Amino acid sequence: MDLKKLKDDWESLAKSDALGAILTDQTKASGRWQLDEFMATGEAEIAAMLLYLDQIGNRPDYGGAALDFGCGVGRLTQALGRRFASCVGVDISQEMIDRAERLNRYPHCRYVMNSSTRLPFSNESFTFIYSNIVLQHVPPQFAELYLQDFVRILKAGGILVFGVQDSFAMPDLSSRVMRIRQTLRLRSRVKRLAGKNQGEMLMHCLPEAAVRRALGADATIIDIQWTNTAAKDFNGKLEYLERPPRSGYLGRQYCVLKRG
């Protein structure tokens, strides 16, 4: 897969069911998300994440600019915008960006479409960068390049928080079937055969060794936590787990400090 294919997939997903593509709770699929309820999940997620940062002694600089990478319709961008002096949401889908701009309530939030691994921001532009349930859909070779660029655009002393799927555990039959179906892309192929022009939503893993390689010498990982973001019915309620799930994709959240 290249970035053009990734962009085409997410343009299609955004046009078909933007909210359902972002939060994959099957009880809300096919347009059943209520917009207010959907946006409230962003507020709850950002509150939970920032509370956790406070608890581990890594409060970000709220007087600076925040970046929401993979912003979709602005679910997290607006929640960050309530707390930071300014916030930028960036997404590979122009359809998502158009929707985010229509929904935006904060003049100090803005939205940018970008389909390159080089983000359109100067060095050290942001004091805080956040990305969740995004890099898991990006092929690893590109995800590593994005991590490198996050470090470039993060200010010295700034904080980067992002989630990835670390690996896949398969102790039971249902997990094995899910992995095989994902690998073979059966769901999307069936939809195409049925005449439904819907993009693929693929999952990719990025293990810790790859994360550390991408972040390089200018960034220090200060915390890693298992999260529930790999759950099939993830509905935006971020939870930190004492141990990884026994089966399925294993979600991890990294907290990174840019060295001065």
Q: In CATH, which superfamily holds the domain spanning 3-258? A: Vaccinia Virus protein VP39 (3.40.50.150)
Distance separating alpha carbons of residues 129 and 14, to the nearest angstrom: 23
Distance separating alpha carbons of residues 242 and 227, to the nearest angstrom: 9
Provide the pLDDT for residue 260.
81
Instruction: Name the 3-class secondary structure at 250.
Output: strand
The reported pTM is: 0.90
Pair of tokens at residue 196: 């439904």
193-207 pLDDT per residue, tens: 334 556 888 999 999
Provide the pLDDT for residue 189.
41
- Domain positions in the chain are 3-258
Q: Count CB neighbours of 43 within 10 A.
A: 16
Report, as an integer, the average pLDDT of 237-241: 96
Q: Which residues make beta-bridge pairs with 68?
A: 89, 130
DSSP 205: B
Report, as an integer, the average pLDDT of 169-188: 53
187-202: b or e for each residue (b if 16 or more CB lie within 10 Å)? ebeeeeeeeeebbbbb
* Residue type, position 34, single letter: Q
Reported in sequence order, the residue ranges of the chain that DSSP labels E, i.e. its strands, are 65-69, 86-91, 109-113, 126-131, 154-169, 219-227, 240-241, 248-258
1-60 pLDDT per residue, tens: 689 999 999 999 999 999 999 998 888 888 899 999 999 999 999 999 999 999 999 999
| Residue 183: pLDDT over 80 | no
DSSP 120: S
Q: Indicate the average pLDDT of the chain.
A: 90
Provide the pLDDT for residue 188.
46
More confident call, 178 vs 251: 251
Provide the pLDDT for residue 178.
53
